[in-house]
Structure 1
Amino acid sequence: MDQIAYVNGSFLPLADAKVSILDRGFLFADGIYEVAAVLDGKLIDNASHLARLERSVGEIALALPETTDRIQEIQKELVARNNLVNGMVYLEVTRGADSGRDFAFPKSGVKPTLIMFTSVKDIINAPSAKTGIAVITVPDIRWERRDIKSVALLAQVLAKQAAAEAGAGEAWMIEEGMVTEGGSSSAFILTQDDVLVTRQNSSAILPGCTRKAVVALAEERQLRVEERPFSVQEALAAKEAFTTSATVFVQAVVSIDGKTVANGKPGPMTNRLREIYVDFARATAV
């Protein structure tokens, strides 16, 4: 069966899903995106993703062409049309296609572009969930509004490519000696005193939806959480390290720049938090 995508009100084969070369998302990266995981044919933590979508478009004065309720209906229909059991739904909204290439916003008559498509991924049974991943560190060269989930991802592309070339599963970005976040994930450590540490939300990082859920789930279980920056040296001295995102859930980090974290295996806290998050995901899926 051909994969089905959604473009501006129409469901059509992915091969036929196209937008104008004048679309501002293509010309200026003038757009916002979200990725929601799918487990057992249902969307995971989707309300959090749609709330972040609304916040991001608001920060760049971009009006959504559909309500978030309607966007969720489209997501669900795409899941059904593609018979998707486990994977992801990607959505992107841009400021649309103007008549030329002017940096300033279109004055009128330009409707935002909304596209969505699905992909298959078995997040639960991913081999790396059992082995953990290596990460490398790279300078954080991004702009100062990382809290906006912009489609302008060139810095992350370069970071992830460097990780791939090094045989690593992720790149942690470093600013002023401290870890900001991963190329497509939030970063956590568990200190020797059993404190979970992750950087506080600010314009320096994306407010991760999975990060938010994991912090809340940990606090509900009376685990100690500190939201503050940490260094690579602190991470290497930690009991455990891990990342979170919609596409990996909770993922152990077993080495950083070739140096082993603890015993080089996923730790018990990471494994437990992954189990807790998966239980939460299934219980709240829509």
Structure 2
Amino acid sequence: MIQDFADWLVFSVLEFSPGTRLGEAVNFFVYDTVKILFLLYAISLVMGVVNAYFPVDRIRVFLTTRKLYGLQYFFAALFGAVTPFCSCSSIPLFIGFVKGGIPLGVTFAFLITSPLVNEVAIAMFLGVFGWEVTAIYAVSGVVLGMVGGAVLQRFRLERFLSPWVKDLLSQSERESAAWEKKHVPFKDRLPEIASDAWGIVKGVVLYVVIGIAVGAGIHGYVPEGFFEQYLGAESWWGVPAAVLCGVPMYANAAGIVPVIQVFVAKGIPIGTALAFMMATVGLSLPEAILLKKVMTWKLIGIFFATVSLLIVFSGYLFNFLM
């Protein structure tokens, strides 16, 4: 429905020409802006209900004090794998996790895995590369999220969250405690929950628009084969170069699979091609702009550097195994 609305608005009402760079960029901007703002409001609303009716403090204490032997990262990564979100679309749920008191490393495990692995990409991988490559890709995406979340949790990065997020956490804890004391019925709580969700949307809308505008420009004006010349077929620096070339791009896993097929057909090693794909869908410049509302630049840099190193390692491993 959102895509139909974007097509109608851009091509029928605004009369941009389909297939042109400008038309495709504007269509991408309208579609992603509506989709992400809708997701942000819906998820904020759901998390508001969760915060009001579930003992978030107990969940937080459980996840941070019990020896779960990494299962919390596994379940977060697995949840990310079954949610069909791109890197920017994952951020509303990431905000909801943080606001709900979920440990930051667990939320990172979700944020890393969600854009990398989804059922559409897996189906396309099966058709293009067969079950062996698909299995390695899917398992590695989940493992990448688990390892990345666990590593980032060890750094204790909560201090690098933005003041806006810290205020949200404090406000959520105060409201939850007040509601528990008053035993306010759900119908009376709902207007305030909806108002808080709308406040979150208003707080990040500028970052959403800027981030998606950058992504739309990349989507409309950067040719798919633009970076292909920089990915060496056998050179040792091919994998790091693939990651560096992939980060500025912005696409979902399903959209980039045909590009990876072309890379492999032209002789680029499968690990190098997959590293490019993981960097493209798991890390992006628009994602960094959106994350600026919830993280300091230092935390964004740590997150991007950690995930990039893990992707480089995965690329070398793929090339060795395949």
TM-score normalised per structure 1 = 0.25
More strand by share: 1
More helix by share: 2
Structure with larger Rg: 2
Task: Specify which structure has the bigger relative contact order, considering alpha-carbon pairs within 8 angstroms and separated by 6 or more residues.
Answer: 2
Normalised to the residue count of structure 2, the TM-score between the two structures is 0.23
